[in-house]
Amino acid sequence: MEVILDPSKANGPDPVMDGDQRTFMKDVVEASREVPVLVDFWATWCGPCKALTPALEKVVRAAGGRVRLVKIDIDKNRQLVQQLTQMGLPLQSVPTVAAFWQGQIADLFQGALPEGELKKFIENLLKMAGGQMPSAELLAEAKQLLEAGDAAAALEIYAALGQQEPENAEALAGLARCLIALEEEDQAKEMLDSLSDKLKEHPEISSVRAQIELAEAGRAAQSQLGAFEQRLAANPDDHEARIELAIALNSMEKRQEAAETLLEAIKRDREWNDKAAQKQLLKFFEAWGLTDPVTLKARRGLSALLFR
């Protein structure tokens, strides 16, 4: 079903509002369980923000209440920005627009996009939220096949979708994951390296690239698993050994144990080696995906440590 943005349907309460750190949970996280919510992180000194925000407001209002926009001034909400950044949301530059759906980040972009690209972004978000995106069922089927261990069958679906929709980041990321599962990691890396800069920045693509990097590091760490455990037994504050142990555990598909190992390192000394344990945990989050159950649980644990 084609999603049409029609200004004549823009009735009811204004879907555009200013937000802050006090109301973020209510206006964004909780509200996104009903309709998709875009969060525009901006600043008064940001030139591109002055071009993006009015266009974004126009497109959101034209969606007729099917999507909302919450604008966050980063200078007035530094605590919120710091917390979101530490939890893995890239807010080093503005404007950054994050789309929330069902309490989680569904997509994001940075920089000022033209109105046509904004419409496309919101249309894709609405299709995803409504479960009506033409390729959604195929993507779900391929994902299910891959999770069930049939990477070859999943590969055929992802490859077909990639040919039909060359800009479909989910299909391309799925294709790379199938290649990894089929022990064709070099081919997966070549495919990812050939993508446009825009696609490389997509969260799905970033996730699979992080997965490859962690797999490479994990193979090296696994060979010294016993040594890391012995070092920790001798000295529980050997943070380097604890981080390497987490990398090895992750490569063995022991995600929960890997996350708990890094959380223990952060608890003992969060500042060690320029927050190395925290950075490694964020790398895990990126590779596992925003909605992975272990990511969600570990993110809550990280938040509790950082803001206790």
The predicted pLDDT at position 89 comes to 80
Band (102; pLDDT cuts 50, 70, 90) = confident
Beta-ladder partners of 70? 17, 39
Give the containing element (helix H, strand E) for 156: helix 151-164
Residue type, 240: E
Average pLDDT in the chain:
88
**Catalytically annotated residue among 46, 171, 195, 232:** 46
Instruction: Extract the tokens encoding 135.
Output: 């390729």
Residues 6+ apart with CB under 8 A from 137: none
Residues 6+ apart with CB under 8 A from 162: 168, 171, 172, 175
Placement of tokens 């590969």 in the chain = 155
Number of H helices, E strands in the chain: 15, 5
| 55 CB burial (10 A radius; 0-12, 13-18, 19+) | middle
Q: Note whether 175 and 159 are within 8 A (CB).
A: yes
pTM of the complete model:
0.54
What is the per-residue pLDDT across 9-41, written as a single tens digit (0 to 9) for each?
434 688 999 999 999 999 999 999 889 999 999
Catalytic annotation present for 46: yes
Q: 178, 183, 184: which is closest to 161 by C-alpha? A: 178
In the chain the domains, ranked by start, together with CATH numbers, are 7-130 (3.40.30.10), 136-201 (1.25.40), 219-306 (1.25.40.10)
Catalytic annotation present for 178: no
Identify the DSSP state of 254. Answer: -
Q: Note whether 270 and 305 are within 8 A (CB).
A: yes
Asked which of 79-88, 130-139, 212-221, 237-246 is least confident by mean pLDDT, the reply is: 130-139
C-alpha 252: how far from its chain's center?
Answer: 22
Residue type, 129: A
Q: Note whether 280 and 262 are within 8 A (CB).
A: yes
Using alpha carbons only, what angle is made at residue 246 by residues 243 and 249, rounded to the nearest 5 degrees? Answer: 155
* Residue 98, helix vs strand vs coil: strand
Listing DSSP states for 35-53 in one string gives: S-EEEEEE-TT-HHHHHHH
**Catalytically annotated residue among 49, 81, 205, 266:** 49
C-alpha 109: how far from its chain's center?
Answer: 11
C-alpha 246: how far from its chain's center?
Answer: 21
The predicted pLDDT at position 130 comes to 67
Asked which of 3-7, 83-87, 106-110, 283-287 is least confident by mean pLDDT, the reply is: 3-7
C-alpha 284: how far from its chain's center?
Answer: 11
* Residue 236, helix vs strand vs coil: coil
